[in-house]
Structure 1
Amino acid sequence: MAALCLASGTAALLPASASAAAAPDGERVSDHGYTSQIRRTEYGVPHVLAHDYGGLGYGYGYAFAQDNLCQLADQVLTLRGERSRYLGPTQTTADGTSNLASDTYHQGLRQAGTVRRLLDRPAPLGPTSELRRMVEGYAAGYNRYLRDTGAAHLPDPTCKGKPWVGPIGAMDIWNLVYDLNGASGAAALRQAIATATPPTTGRASKPLRAAAPRRGAGPSAPDSASPSASASAGPSTSSGPRRGDLGSNGWALGRDVTRGRDGMLLANPHLGWIGGDRFYQVQLTIPGVIDVAGASIYGTPLVEIGHTRTLAWTHTTSYADHASLYRLTTIPGDPTSYLVDGKAVRMTRRAVPVTVRGADGKLSTVTSTLYTSRYGPVLADGWTRTEAYALRDANADNLRSTNEWLAIGRAQSVAQLQQAHQTYQGIPWTYTIATDSTGTAYFNDSSAVPHVSDDRLKRCALPGEDHDLPGVLDGSTSACDWGSDPDAVVPGIFGPGHQPRLTRTDYVANSNNDSALTNPAAPLAGYPRMYHAGAPLGPRAQLGLQMIADRRAGTDGLGIPGFTLPTLQASMLGDRNYTAELGRDDAVAMCRAHPVLTATDGTEVDVRAACDALAAWDTRDDPDSRGAALWKAFRIRVGGPHPWWRVPYDPAQPLTTPRGLNGDEAQVRRAMADAVRKLTADQVPLDAPIGSVQRWAGIPLPGCSGAEGCFNVVNASPTSGTGGATRPRSPEGYASGSSFIMATELTSRGPRTRTILTYGQSANPVSPHYTDQTVLFSHKRWVAERFTEAEIASDPQLRVTTLRG
């Protein structure tokens, strides 16, 4: 056995064990032969060192379980379809799906053997041997910690002693990966899939729009303003896609805009702070094989956003479509059969029994039927006697993502990252933004996009449908099936030759806008409509591009032109509010001219104090910025772009329009009156700082929603985080936005990186790492990453755990 290169420190040698843990489905995971070392530095960041991939996964699984076993146990409970058995059928998952619907969906996948079939494929379509060992080791490491600690003695009260906490298997991790990949498609519509039943009347019970996958859906989807006046509430829990209120920012800076003539990267993904969409910070090292640092989605044993010694990358949600809706023409008298090319095709039915716990604690079985068409699952929404709707998901066959992220974690250049894209084509629903030490900046939408050519879309999209997709496709003819490309690794998706990409030496940037203005100096155009190039920029994306322009010109107050690591950090946390910059003065002029405004209910409201608060506001969303809470309440009530702006959006001026608050519009005036009334009713001062109405576990938070034009997106309430982070979300406790923030400079001497994990390493509310980095975030302080062995060993807080199986 190869020897580990160990950092100095006091080793806690745990008892050796060669036992095997059994998951409920009979899968046995042994920890025999694994060796790993976990070096924890400030804020509990683990640096996992091993001599092979199995040991690397083993150490990572153990470290993650130390901090977040309860959260992963909860996710596994969901993915096994057993929430109703232990928690009852009427409670909801973290994304608002009912337990019974969630269990039906996941049990149906297990019965169908979907993930097992994908695992049976050889690489590149199935996992590589290294990755399989890593996943097996991760499950074994989790089980080792659970066995050493005991469920009755877990430090997290969320699941301590719960009967649903037990060993996991590699299959649980693969199911988690598959579910994550489907977040912009089928996994986002679990409720609609699980509750689809043939109609008993001539009308649909729900409008179809509720079930249509929104463009950009996924853990990093575009922002939306909250309906709450004094704080942001959680997203709708309808059958629509989950996480639709979120977004991300990513900048890759090349040698022409950095003072050191090297590459720099800003990663700013926005995810929910409640549930399994959180990030975990880690470094994974096999000497001479892989050395990557960054962050992983909970339960995944890979770094999905991070850097190696000479490459850094991040992701933002692609604006392209990753699924298609097909309208089925059902046969009169038989709504479970439909026509294709004039021939009747019966839907496939799968009876799915789910064990449920009643209010009296007794167990019973509820059996539901899942309906599937040739395109994919049939949805509850829109199913009538004459038509139904089915979803085809471009990620329905995707476990390739894990291969790709492992390959990126070994890459040292943009060219090697590109090769990983072309080999695996597994990134499910995100753009990739990257740079390397040569100062090359790179953007690519390599996500899985349905191969629907513009010509086919024109012929097959049904008229009159109101969806965010370019059109619902006609399912009655095989001529409307997806096409394919010869360079695509699987049929049905666009290959690399069709994907928007850009390589520059100045910069590429994205804030969940489409790919067209990745760099305004080199607009991207000519791509299939499925990529949606040319859509208007939102205020957050406009601000991001303006921030880069201001830094290049040296007009942002941060010194001479050009990016350095400190100016990149300062830009990220400048907390500018772009809609306020464009409209605050007009709002003040409006209420000065009309000191009494009429609210929606006809009540007259004195707004003079509101004018004073807005006039004194610095138009930023620092925690102590007074007036920001009022602007949030006002902006939410104004609603969409019209009649909000005096100068409407102009495609010829995408960076500078729309602009100018239209204070002559009655809706705008009513919005101000309603905002003042709401804050007064909630006993929130009109000049309240934003940090008084958005908090995490009582800690004031900076930022605001992307719809307001904040780059540093934060949505929270005054009580967010007070009950822990492993529970279903609720409007009063939900939080989302900036999660793992990473600023990296790839110098000739190695990477210099600063990070903030805004909610800390642990979802355990009694852990010291539950809010330690939230305090940093509140005060705009960063963690200096320790990447080299010397940096890790020099940490005075270093704690070393050696594991031998």
Structure 2
Amino acid sequence: MIISSQLTRLSLAGLFLGLSLAANARSQPEQASADIRRTTFGVPHIRAENERGLGYGIGYAYAQDNLCLLANEIVTVNGQRSRYFGPDQFTLEERANLASDLFFNGLNTEQAVSGFWRAQTPEVRELMEGYVAGYNRFLSQSRGQGLPAQCQGDWVREITTTDLVKLTRRLLVEGGIGQFAEAVAGATPPTAVATHAGERASFQLAASRLQRFALDRGSNAVAVGSERSFNGRGMLLANPHFPWVGGMRFYQMHLTIAGKLDVMGAALPGLPLINIGFNRHLAWTHTVDTSKHFTLYRLQLDPKDPTRYLLDGKSLPMHRQALTVDVKQADGTVKAISHVVYSSQFGPIVQWPGKLDWDNQFAYSLRDANLENDRVLAQWYAMNRADSLEAFQASVNKIQGIPWVNTLAADDKGQTLYMNLSVVPNVSAEKLAQCSDPRIGLEMIILDGSNSACAWDIDPRAAQKGIYAADKLPQLLRKDFVQHSNDSAWMVNPAQPLTGYSPLISQDNQPLGLRSRFALQRLGRLTQAGTLSAQDLQHMVMDDQVYQAAQVMPDLLQFCADGLGTDAKTLAPLCASFKAWDRKANLDSGLGFVHFQNVMEPLLQIPDVWRVAFDPKDPQHTPRGLALDRPHVVQALRQAMLASVEQVNASGLKQATRWGDVQVVSSGGQQTPIHGGPGTLGVYNAIQSVPRSDGKREVVSGTSYLQVVTFDENGPQAKGVLAFSLSSDPSSKYARDQTEAFSKKQLSVLPFTEQQIQADPHYQAMTLREQDERTGKVAAQ
């Protein structure tokens, strides 16, 4: 296979400029080379002699599959969307371009980006430099052949390591200030006129996005140890629930440096390493945690000036930072606009109308712990290279670079590990009691910004000032199992509850999510029947059981049977669909599942809806049952059922409609039916979809990279699927193939050994040498 291209002088200049930031550039970068072998579904197995060569192969392969996706994200993190697409268009995250640009210009300042780069290890820098060179090489080749339709324009350019740093910093703040972009960009003193970025419509969208954050970014994980596994070795189920589009879309790959690295799994865009995966001796995954990664500070303002605040009785000026955004005008010209953002010593001022108001008395600052986390890439690379569970755990304890997720792992010796070792502000329960208003609750931590004693505590043993040291965070090593589904650390294993932590770290005696309850129930049942197999873990996801149906369907059917009065005729089809429904979210599950979702969503907002209330002494089985002896519950149920009938009829759904007719994902003009459903209903295979005008629902997030890993004497034995497929380019042959496999509930072997790779029926290989770039050659193997 020979691919030819001719680099222009401009692209060569951009390539070498992008190999590193100017202050750290090497005068003559080493020439990189890599082997890219692809197997079934196009999964790339990238092999190189060093980090720069490995990064070179990763960047090239990623560009082959997702050139336009990364180009779009590069525009976003550089705050240039308004320049190319106009200020009133929206990002994939439904954020107005102008607010997005202001936020990222403030986040990714030259000082912050250069500081992050200087903190990186030589290996990480080489990975990033290689990635840049590889991506730019493919971009240059593609320009000669014609870029894909979705990324034709002057906004597509060669990238630099600065761009990759900005992408990484964007990922770091996803669990913190990244959720408050409008609130940062729109914060204005009470005497000032609000800018476009602060319009109330933007905040309404932001509030909706904030509510969806936990739904779009969740996960399930189970690690089974020697006491429960079929062969006495460890097993791992990784089931992250992430967006199916945009900058959080996983990419599947296998990375090898002989004698140093051999790891396979999935990574987020722009990262030259594995986030979730496995190597020769262990497998791991992450789940979005419930820990707090930022706190707000309520500032007492100087009565004479709302841009000054009082700290320990002393009036201090807020810091002002002028941000400039290039904005495309209606006539096509570009005009620079400026906006001032404010900050205190606790962080940027945020303003959210009706929630976090900036008036003449108070303002609010937000301090995000991950803004100072420059260790994240070194952390994942150390995890990738770990040759034992002990080394794996030790790296996380030492580096403390995991931003906002839990970690679960299993090894070939039959050990399992849970760690809630993310970056958490060091605020004890005692300090919280002294520095916050208990009426506000714990959903969002607001501390007293007028008292310096309310600043985060500093532990000299922590890897970063102001965060908890590793030994103060939850960790659990067991040989039976650990599991997690986005609850606190409390019930990771009920045999050994994790309690006594600061509320910012983990809260116990709180109701479990339904996915956690399902997992504990299923694991308990399987254990009673014997040991667990890989198929058992796979079925936990692919069975598509709706756990909440078992809790409430008897009540719903009884309600239908007891007589519905004047509504009986109207509700008869709904009740019939309830009776016929298999209580699952399979493609062939009936209309009853649609009605069940419609009914339960409003019903769960009703106070005292449960017949058996939550009992912290029995968290696995409570709450449960509908309190149909309470008139307000009965009234709410009847209204929800009537509304569901009306909605289903308006959508054109028929009694014979199946769930696979409703929930789909679109790509390249084709639709693929998708099983699974809302995690809030206890569907372990959590899939989030949004209504369309034609009565269908379009998948936007959920089960993404799914892997089941076991071990034997030959190493890891893994199966998996990337639910949305490898490529985001609709014209690619790798854009829908794994999606169709996921739709059919088919997991495939993940080739890991050299024998498995070369024996793959779709094996193809190429050698990529940077020294051949001038001639445009790629060598076939």
Question: Same fold per TM (> 0.5)?
Answer: yes
Contact between 2:18 and 2:132, CA under 8 Å: does it hold in 1? Answer: no
User: What is the CA-CA distance between 1:202 and the residue it aligns to?
Assistant: 13
Match of 2:589 among 611, 618, 625: 625
- Please say which of residues 545-554 and 343-352 is displaced more in the overlay: 545-554
Q: Deviations over 1:114-157 (max 9, x none)?
A: 1212222xxxxx21101100011001100000011217712x32
User: What is the CA-CA distance between 1:105 and the residue it aligns to?
Assistant: 1.5
Contact between 1:637 and 1:674, CA under 8 Å: does it hold in 2? Answer: no
- Say whether residues 1:525 and 2:499 are aligned partners: yes
- Please say which of residues 93-102 and 253-262 is displaced more in the overlay: 93-102
Residue type of the alignment partner of 2:335:
S
User: What is the CA-CA distance between 1:34 and the residue it aligns to?
Assistant: 0.6
Q: CA 1:151–1:671 in structure 2 vs 1: closer, same or farther (change >3 Å)? A: farther
Q: Percent identity?
A: 37
Partner SS for 1:516:
coil
- Say whether residues 1:707 and 2:677 are aligned partners: no
Matches within 5 A, 1:180-195: 180-195=171-186
Match of 1:167 among 144, 152, 158: 158
- Please say which of residues 779-788 and 11-20 is displaced more in the overlay: 11-20
Match of 1:157 among 149, 156, 159: 149
Contact between 1:322 and 1:450, CA under 8 Å: does it hold in 2? Answer: yes
Aligned to 1:460: 435
Partner SS for 1:245:
helix
User: What is the CA-CA distance between 1:18 and the residue it aligns to?
Assistant: 11
Contact between 1:211 and 1:239, CA under 8 Å: does it hold in 2? Answer: no
Partner SS for 1:767:
coil
Partner SS for 2:488:
coil
Aligned to 2:773: none
Q: Deviations over 1:610-652 (max 9, x none)?
A: 1111111111111111121221111122133734321111111
Please list every run of 5 or more consecutive structure 2 residues that lacks an aligned counterpart in the other structure. 21-27, 771-781
Match of 1:380 among 347, 351, 354: 351
Q: CA 1:324–1:206 in structure 2 vs 1: closer, same or farther (change >3 Å)? A: farther
Contact between 2:417 and 2:476, CA under 8 Å: does it hold in 1? Answer: yes
Contact between 2:5 and 2:140, CA under 8 Å: does it hold in 1? Answer: no
Partner SS for 1:530:
coil
Match of 1:102 among 100, 103, 120: 100
Aligned to 1:689: 658
Residue type of the alignment partner of 2:489:
S
Aligned to 2:403: 428
Matches within 5 A, 1:234-633: 238=208, 240=210, 243-246=213-216, 247-381=218-352, 382-465=357-440, 468-469=443-444, 471-534=445-508, 535-554=510-529, 561-596=530-565, 606-626=570-590, 627-633=592-598
| Equivalent-residue separation in structure 2 for 1:795 and 1:239 (angstroms) | 42
User: What is the CA-CA distance between 1:242 and the residue it aligns to?
Assistant: 6.8
| Equivalent-residue separation in structure 1 for 2:536 and 2:215 (angstroms) | 28
Aligned to 1:68: 66
- Please say which of residues 458-467 and 284-293 is displaced more in the overlay: 458-467
Partner SS for 1:532:
coil
| Equivalent-residue separation in structure 1 for 2:223 and 2:280 (angstroms) | 16
Contact between 2:59 and 2:134, CA under 8 Å: does it hold in 1? Answer: yes
| Equivalent-residue separation in structure 1 for 2:277 and 2:93 (angstroms) | 26
Q: Deviations over 1:223-271 (max 9, x none)?
A: xxxxxxxxxxx98665747723231001111011111100000000001
User: What is the CA-CA distance between 1:520 and the residue it aligns to?
Assistant: 0.6
Matches within 5 A, 1:62-141: 62-111=60-109, 113-120=111-118, 126-141=119-134
Q: Deviations over 1:288-323 (max 9, x none)?
A: 110000000122111000000111000001111110
| Equivalent-residue separation in structure 1 for 2:349 and 2:145 (angstroms) | 42
Contact between 1:610 and 1:687, CA under 8 Å: does it hold in 2? Answer: no
- Please say which of residues 789-798 and 440-449 is displaced more in the overlay: 789-798
Residue type of the alignment partner of 1:612:
A
Residue type of the alignment partner of 2:178:
A
Partner SS for 2:756:
helix
User: What is the CA-CA distance between 1:532 and the residue it aligns to?
Assistant: 2.7
Q: CA 1:394–1:376 in structure 2 vs 1: closer, same or farther (change >3 Å)? A: same
| Equivalent-residue separation in structure 2 for 1:436 and 1:629 (angstroms) | 41
More helix per residue:
2
Matches within 5 A, 1:139-150: 139-150=132-143
User: What is the CA-CA distance between 1:102 and the residue it aligns to?
Assistant: 1.1
Contact between 2:18 and 2:133, CA under 8 Å: does it hold in 1? Answer: no
| Equivalent-residue separation in structure 1 for 2:527 and 2:144 (angstroms) | 54
Aligned to 1:6: none
Aligned to 1:7: none
Q: CA 1:655–1:463 in structure 2 vs 1: closer, same or farther (change >3 Å)? A: closer
Matches within 5 A, 1:4-23: 12=2, 21-22=12-13
Q: Deviations over 1:477-535 (max 9, x none)?
A: 10000002232011100001100011100000000010010001111111122123212
Alignment RMSD (CA, Å): 2.8
Aligned to 1:178: 169
- Say whether residues 1:777 and 2:742 are aligned partners: yes
Q: CA 1:256–1:16 in structure 2 vs 1: closer, same or farther (change >3 Å)? A: farther
Q: CA 1:147–1:267 in structure 2 vs 1: closer, same or farther (change >3 Å)? A: same
- Say whether residues 1:754 and 2:719 are aligned partners: yes
| Equivalent-residue separation in structure 2 for 1:553 and 1:506 (angstroms) | 13
Contact between 1:703 and 1:714, CA under 8 Å: does it hold in 2? Answer: yes
Q: CA 1:15–1:165 in structure 2 vs 1: closer, same or farther (change >3 Å)? A: closer
- Say whether residues 1:788 and 2:757 are aligned partners: no
- Please say which of residues 357-366 and 347-356 is displaced more in the overlay: 357-366
Contact between 1:400 and 1:424, CA under 8 Å: does it hold in 2? Answer: yes
Aligned to 2:603: 638
Residue type of the alignment partner of 1:97:
R
| Equivalent-residue separation in structure 2 for 1:388 and 1:237 (angstroms) | 19
Residue type of the alignment partner of 2:563:
H
Q: CA 1:705–1:347 in structure 2 vs 1: closer, same or farther (change >3 Å)? A: same
Q: CA 1:517–1:28 in structure 2 vs 1: closer, same or farther (change >3 Å)? A: closer
Q: CA 1:143–1:478 in structure 2 vs 1: closer, same or farther (change >3 Å)? A: same
Contact between 1:71 and 1:275, CA under 8 Å: does it hold in 2? Answer: yes
Question: How many pairs are equivalent?
Answer: 746
Q: CA 1:18–1:48 in structure 2 vs 1: closer, same or farther (change >3 Å)? A: farther
Q: CA 1:584–1:200 in structure 2 vs 1: closer, same or farther (change >3 Å)? A: same
| Equivalent-residue separation in structure 2 for 1:732 and 1:785 (angstroms) | 31
Aligned to 1:33: 31
Contact between 2:182 and 2:202, CA under 8 Å: does it hold in 1? Answer: no
Q: CA 1:328–1:302 in structure 2 vs 1: closer, same or farther (change >3 Å)? A: same
Contact between 2:18 and 2:129, CA under 8 Å: does it hold in 1? Answer: no
Q: Deviations over 1:650-673 (max 9, x none)?
A: 111100011112334211221122
Please list every run of 5 or more consecutive structure 1 residues that lacks an aligned counterpart in the other structure. 1-10, 121-125, 213-233, 555-560, 599-603, 723-730
User: What is the CA-CA distance between 1:53 and the residue it aligns to?
Assistant: 0.3
Q: CA 1:46–1:26 in structure 2 vs 1: closer, same or farther (change >3 Å)? A: closer
Structure 2-normalised TM-score? Answer: 0.91
User: What is the CA-CA distance between 1:691 and the residue it aligns to?
Assistant: 1.5
User: What is the CA-CA distance between 1:186 and the residue it aligns to?
Assistant: 1.4
Aligned to 1:223: none
| Equivalent-residue separation in structure 1 for 2:86 and 2:7 (angstroms) | 36
User: What is the CA-CA distance between 1:596 and the residue it aligns to?
Assistant: 4.7
| Equivalent-residue separation in structure 2 for 1:88 and 1:205 (angstroms) | 13
Q: Deviations over 1:438-464 (max 9, x none)?
A: 110100111000000111111001243
